[in-house]
Amino acid sequence: MRGREGGRHSASSGHSVGGRPTRVLIALFGPTAIGKTEIAVELADLLRAEGEDPVAISADALQVYRGLETLTAAPTADQLARLPHRLVSFVPVTDTFSVGEYMPMAHREIDAALAAGQTPIVVGGTGLYLRAALCELDLRPPPPPGLRERLERELAVRGSEALHAELARRAPKLAHRIPPNDRSRIVRALELLAMGADPEPVRGAENRLWTEETRIPTVLVGLTMERAKLYRRIDERSERIFAAARAEVLRADAAGASRTAREAIGFEELLRGDLEGMKRASRRLAKAQLTWMRKLRGVTVIDVTSRSPREVAQIVLDRVRRAQRG
């Protein structure tokens, strides 16, 4: 990933504020339960003390849903008061949502913040959404109206294994790489087949995902933590959410929550009463997020194991100021 030194600059990113060096986009990425929101809020306080007007742009695939705030650990009212967040709690729980829809929204929010003289902070735990917020990704075309809804109805009636078997008949090599319970990838592959498109990943697309230039000069910070402590935090948060989000999930389920909304960790587990399953899924997610972080180019990694959110925020701010000075 190319940051301040190699990124493609937008017209709105090159001016200074009050004589301060060139502003940059700040991006915070890290595994679930590591405390990204808390650190972003502390960073906002530090920026505000220096006369800046910070705003967060969420890069989380599930915090977009309105009505799942507890389950997805969306920013609290107090956190929102200290740091306004864009692209959270705005999609009805019955709607599907994709990175293809998210990317232009994120770009508009970032550009609007810069044009208004604000300091945007992209905060996320969904690697693809983070990349979509920072870069111009070459995404596959969306399905025509009604196609996804038809496939999702088939998924609900026939189940993921039956649709996976259909995919295996039509694209056996691809089906071999997709687990039978990976509903999103199965549906997307069948969509592409129905559209007459090649469902196989574009050659080299995975590498381009990591080498694509950022649209705007970016200071990218990755957060890490000693594994045992992170897993304890994950387990403790899973227990809190499991106890607090039951009514929320039941309402969403009764309302006909979409396939993508149901992908929130804890949704299906809570319906089954499976707390341990929720913990396992959260740990798997954290492992995948750390893998994403290791692939990012130009990332400044901060170990937060023994540091408070304010201490981490100060380190981030120092890194930003160094980048601004060149």
Q: Please indicate if the annotation marks 146 as binding a ligand.
A: no
CA distance 265 to 267: 6
Report phi then psi at 62, rounded to 5. Answer: -110, -25
Contact between 206 and 138 under an 8 Å Cβ cutoff? The reply is no
CA distance 18 to 52: 10
Contact between 324 and 14 under an 8 Å Cβ cutoff? The reply is no
The three-class DSSP label of residue 274 is coil
The three-class DSSP label of residue 117 is coil
Q: Please indicate if the annotation marks 57 as binding a ligand.
A: no
Q: Please indicate if the annotation marks 214 as binding a ligand.
A: no
Q: Please indicate if the annotation marks 6 as binding a ligand.
A: no
Q: Please indicate if the annotation marks 76 as binding a ligand.
A: no
Distances (CA, A) of 77 to 69, 73, 84, 265: 11, 12, 10, 22
Q: Please indicate if the annotation marks 291 as binding a ligand.
A: no
Q: Write out the two tokens for 233.
A: 């935090």
**Burial label, 80 (beta-carbon count in 10 A; 0-12, 13-18, 19+):** middle
Q: Please indicate if the annotation marks 3 as binding a ligand.
A: no
Residues flagged as binding site for substrate:
32-37
Residues flagged as binding site for ATP:
30-37
Residues flagged as binding site:
30-37
